[in-house]
Amino acid sequence: ITAKDLSKHLYIYASDEFEGRNTGEEGQKKAVEYLRNYYKSIGVEPGDPDKDYFQPMTLNLRGRRGKEGKKVDTENVIAIIRGTEKADEYVVISAHLDHVGVNENGEIYNGADDDGSGTVALLEIAEAFKQASLQGYNPKRSIVFLHVSGEEKGLLGSRYYVENPLYPLLQTVANLNIDMIGRVDDWHENGDYVYLIGADMLSQELHDISEQTNDQYIGLELDYTFNAEDDPNRYYYRSDHYNFAK
């Protein structure tokens, strides 16, 4: 996983060609094709029953700013690397593939950070797991790579997945959701940090594993500012992991 490869993906994924990836529109369709083609190219198998990497759905979008709501056809993208010891247990790593499209003046909202950054990170993580498996280092549990649509419309793609799971939720041991990791802020002296939200909301175990793994291998600053119960931003409830948590 390199900054160069992440940047290469992101410059494509957040380019004007993808027209802001608005749910159900042409730019979003180009985006899911990009994701599917990349998984094919690195040999990571599709995670859906039809073996085309897509979980199709029809979403009811709420009307905004005086406009009527509408139905749109869209899709989640899903790939999987099978585990060797507990193949019927699943860790879902997710990011939302959509953004908000184009405004009435033709300005494209490219969504490089939100959530192009999480999307391309997921691609690189999948490639790393695949390369490891080719060298004999296979995950014990199955790793599901899930790109959800409709997040900007109200977490709709992830809600559809948990209501229509392709892998049993009772056998899904964790969801690790990646959202907006492409920028640094002024509150840290360098960029070697990440905000963690929700790791201890349902289980102390995930929090402890994160801390231990980071101390042993990575050494990032783990910032829990937005994990506080009284945080006014309430980010825990505003991204796709919350549908899994519910």
Partners of 95 in the beta sheet? 147
Q: How far apart are CA 214 and CA 188, in angstroms?
A: 18
Sequence-distant (6+) residues with CB within 8 A of 180 are: 113, 114, 115, 117, 118
List 19, 127, 151, 152, catalytic entry: 151
The H-or-E segment that residue 36 falls in is helix 26-42
Q: 69-86: buried (b, 16+ CB within 10 Å) or exposed (e) per residue? A: eeebebbbbbbbbebeee
Q: How far apart are CA 105 and CA 235, in angstroms?
A: 30
Contact 120, 95 (CB under 8 A): no
The H-or-E segment that residue 9 falls in is helix 3-13
Query: Among this protein's residues, is 19 annotated catalytic?
Result: no
Q: How far apart are CA 61 and CA 138, in angstroms?
A: 40
Q: How far apart are CA 94 and CA 73, in angstroms?
A: 20
Q: How far apart are CA 212 and CA 34, in angstroms?
A: 35
> Tokens representing 96?
């939302």
Q: How far apart are CA 100 and CA 111, in angstroms?
A: 8
**Catalytic site positions:** 151
